[in-house]
Structure 1
Amino acid sequence: MSGIYIHIPFCKQACHYCDFHFSTSLKKRDEMVNALVKEIQLRKDEFKKTTVETIYFGGGTPSLLSNEELKTLIDSVYENYNVVEAPEITLEANPDDLIKAELLPRAQSRGRFEKSIFYSYRNIGINRLSIGIQSFFEDDLKLMNRAHNASEAKACLEEATQHFDNISVDLIYGIPGLSNERWKQNIDTALAFNIPHISSYALTVEPKTALESFIKKGLIDALDDAQAHEQFHILKDSLEAKGFIHYELSNFGKEDYFSKNNSAYWQGKSYIGIGPSAHSFNGKQRGWNVANNSKYIKAIERETLPLETETLTITDQYNEYVMTGLRTIWGISFSKIEKDFGTVFKDYLIEQSKVFINQHLLYIDDEHLCVTKKGQFLCDGIASELFKLNL
């Protein structure tokens, strides 16, 4: 098994673009932590013969939990699963949570950081931070309704890099009003902190979000796909010039700093998702928990998993591998296609890919089908054309 994902479904406020499951009420916080521990225990038999390589706290906003609550969850994983000697343990965090947690120790210790939040995280085993910066400009942060401001973003990274080596930051491009020049400044600011990993995504308009409503009402300009395309290439060129490897469509890392957790997803390894709305995968089946905090807690209290599952057909498995493989530097292995799905699927893939090879959007390297620089921004659409239908 690759790892365990633990979904923390709480946020201080709703970002205008976000459609993930979360609540801005912390009333059920204690019950939720207890339920997460209980689900970890209930599901141990599913993967008792496998090994946990990564633990990932996502959300929501995991940095809203106390150090003691995070430790309780980590300890529960160790108590119920076979964990490798040095697992990657990632915490998604918001800058405001981290920097505000630092202010009290700074004031009380006359400028010295004693038992800082970063020290506490390291002490319980967290060894990787994924920090949701998104932008270093106030206008962008206000448009997205982020809980932090630009000065907190910079102060957070300045302090975090004193305690952690393995840090990833999130940046968003394609924001209305974000010029190419300011986007380049965002990238340069992140690089100035010697961050070894950057995850970057184009802003998208998800259904039923505040962003969708504001655009429909004309309060915010519609997204510009051409601008997003330009900013994607500015990102790629800037980071690769600094030694980053573009190992997945939205992820760039220095050597030895790729996300082990996310790489396992893209390589089709199995994982358990703990918490409301969390997804699981065992190679043949996909499952997802109910996306409702109260229903999730009540089900777990009854020792019932609030889980729906679907069994993937051989075609579903092929399509999923094509989608994830094409997004990565590893590409799609023809030999794996033939071994796992059969010659018919391999021949189909070769035939479907010809038009994109002729357009210089795909290429073949050492029996792997990969996307070209020209095709990277389009790779999800290309992948859909390589899918095989269930007939």
Structure 2
Amino acid sequence: MAGIYLHIPFCKQACHYCDFHFSTSMGLKEQTVQAIARELALRQEYLQGQTVHTIYFGGGTPSLLSQQELQLLLQTIRQLFEVSEEVEITLEANPDDLSPAKLQELRAAGINRLSIGLQSFHEPHLRLMNRAHTAAESLQSVKHAQAAGFSNITVDLIYGIPAPDHTIWQQDLATLFGLGVQHVSCYALTIEPDTALGRWSKKGKFMPSEDDFTAQQFEILLAQMRQQGFAQYEISNFCQPGYESRHNSNYWRGVHYLGVGPSAHSFNGSSRQYTVAHNKKYVDALAQGVVPFELEELTLADQANDYLLTTLRTTWGCDLVKLRDKYKYDLAATHAAYLLSLQQKGLAQIKDEVLYLTDQGKLLADQVTLDLFVEA
């Protein structure tokens, strides 16, 4: 079992919170797609013959690709790799791209799962984030996708946006539940330094929400999701039964994946590869038959920390036996007092030698994980 991730580094405009690699210039789009196809060929052996069960178009904005460009990349994958007949093919899309005609193109190209970046149904919040779509398009895009025959749809929402109270967030959730989607990813607004919001915050032109305000919205989210029958299988991800993201679930389980395109990451269990985050350098290198990447060999400690980082975010938790036997890290022995403290505070529980974070613990997941890391 393996996955392939394709990074499509183009956007119509820069969202004020985003620090992913992308370009708003489309001048190199065709050449980049061709270069990604060449990279797939050059890295055919990376997955060592494993069957590909998931294909994920991320970005950037993959919905900017034409039907022909998508078909080229998917045909290339099928020619080079063993692809499961039940493969999950996800494409991230912005609402303003999803016209009925575009949706038919996506279905014809082979996309069977849509990830729609709604972020909010509140117009002022969309303008604050500099999203390219309107609140009306947020609603229309999902309805158009359903009418086009997509039955596996996930949407993104952002919480923790500054507001007088939680009314807007509660309205966003109510609107969301009315759409009948199968999966939701919800992220707290994070202020990264090299973004518009980060620069405004540094200059005092933008005041982020207090941590308590954001935590309260997360708690509202958890309660509402449960009421609506959504299972939280990872801190930020919720689904109706049977609609987990197979691609992301495999990532959290440590399944190997090949990442292609500028800034994409790959993982094969013992190392990671990081492709150059520069479109022209990427295109120029592939034109010479070279994949421009950096290699990071993972020590056993690195692998143990990766396992902690991914599994503690999930509903299936961190298997302490696997951590001890495979990664040679006896967490129960080295952090006995800390683990006991987490349980006494209601932040974690251990059942059948599996460590889980509670709802309160998930609010502190990053810090708890850091506290449990193997020291270098």
Per the alignment, in what secondary structure is the counterpart of residue 233 of structure 2? Answer: strand
Tell me if structure 2 keeps the 8 A contact 1:326–1:369. yes
In structure 2, C-alpha distance between the alignment counterparts of 1:130 and 1:263, rounded to whole Å: 15
Q: Deviations over 1:138-171 (max 9, x none)?
A: 1000000000010111111111122211000000
Aligned residue in 2 for 1:132: 117
Q: Verify: 1:357 aligned to 2:357, yes or no.
A: no
Q: Indicate if the aligned counterparts of 1:196 and 1:257 stay in contact, CA closer than 8 A.
A: yes
SS at match of 2:110: coil
CA deviation string 1:237-296 (max 9, x = no partner):
101111100000000011110000000110011101100000000001011000000000
Residue equivalent to 2:246: 260
Give the stretch that moved more between structures: 58-67 or 357-366. Answer: 357-366
TM (norm. structure 2) is: 0.97
Distance 1:236-1:344 versus aligned 2 partners, 3 A rule:
closer
Task: Kindly provide the amino acid, as one letter, of the partner of residue 311 in structure 1.
Answer: E
Name the residue aligned to 1:182.
168
What is the correspondence of 1:108-123 to structure 2 with a 5 Å cutoff?
A: 116-123=101-108
Distance (whole Å) between structure 1 residues aligned to residue 336 and residue 152 of structure 2: 39
User: Matches of 2:90 and 2:254 in 1, distance apart?
Assistant: 19
Q: What is the rounded CA distance, in whole Å, between the counterparts of 1:177 and 1:220 in structure 2? A: 12
1:19 Cα deviation (Å)? 0.3
Q: CA 1:176/1:38 → structure 2, altered by over 3 Å: closer, same or farther?
A: same
Report which stretch shifted further, 220-229 or 237-246.
220-229
Paired position in structure 1 for 2:271: 285
Structure 1 residue 312 corresponds to structure 2 residue 298: yes
Q: Deviations over 1:99-150 (max 9, x none)?
A: 3xx3xxxxxxxxxxxxx32222222221000000000011000000000010
CA RMSD after TM alignment:
1.3
Contact 2:161–2:208 at 8 Å: present in 1 too? no
Query: What does residue 49 of structure 1 align with?
Result: 49
Do 1:3 and 1:261's aligned partners in 2 also have CA atoms closer than 8 Å?
yes
Q: CA deviation at 1:213?
A: 1.2
- The amino acid that maps onto 1:292 is H
1:77 aligns to what?
77
Q: Contact (CA 8 Å) 2:349, 2:356: kept in 1 or not?
A: yes
Shift of 1:345: 4.7
Flag the 1:185–1:343 CA change in 2: closer, same or farther, 3 A: closer
1: CA distance between counterparts of 2:131 and 2:138?
Answer: 11
CA distance in 1, matches of 2:90, 2:335: 36
Q: Percent identity?
A: 46
Aligned 1:91-240 pairs, distance under 5 A: 91-99=91-99, 102=100, 116-162=101-147, 163-177=149-163, 179-240=165-226
Quick one: distance in 2 between partners of 1:138 and 1:200?
18
Q: Deviations over 1:64-94 (max 9, x none)?
A: 1111111111111001001111100000000
Secondary structure of 2:194's counterpart equals: coil
**12-21 or 336-345, which deviates more:** 336-345
SS in 2 for 1:143: helix
In the alignment, the residues of structure 2 paired with residue 316 and residue 238 of structure 1 have an alpha-carbon distance, to the nearest angstrom, of 36
1:330-386, Cα deviation, whole Å (9 max, x unpaired): 000022112202364552254542221121101012221000122111111111111
Using the alignment, how far apart are the partners of 2:30 and 2:201 within structure 1? 37
Q: Which runs of 5+ in 1 are unaligned?
A: 103-115
Residue 179 of structure 1, CA deviation: 3.1
Tell me which amino acid in the other structure corresponds to 1:28: L
Cα distance in structure 1, aligned partners of 2:335 and 2:254: 18
SS state at 1:47 partner: coil
Normalized against structure 1, the TM-score is what?
A: 0.93
Query: CA–CA distance in 1 between the matches of 2:309 and 2:339?
Result: 13
The residue that corresponds to 1:21 in the other structure is 21
- Aligned partner letter, 1:133: L
Look up the SS of the partner of 2:19 in the other structure. Answer: coil
Q: CA deviation at 1:388?
A: 1.2
Seen in structure 2, the aligned counterparts of structure 1 residues 349 and 50 have a Cα distance that, compared at 3 Å, is farther
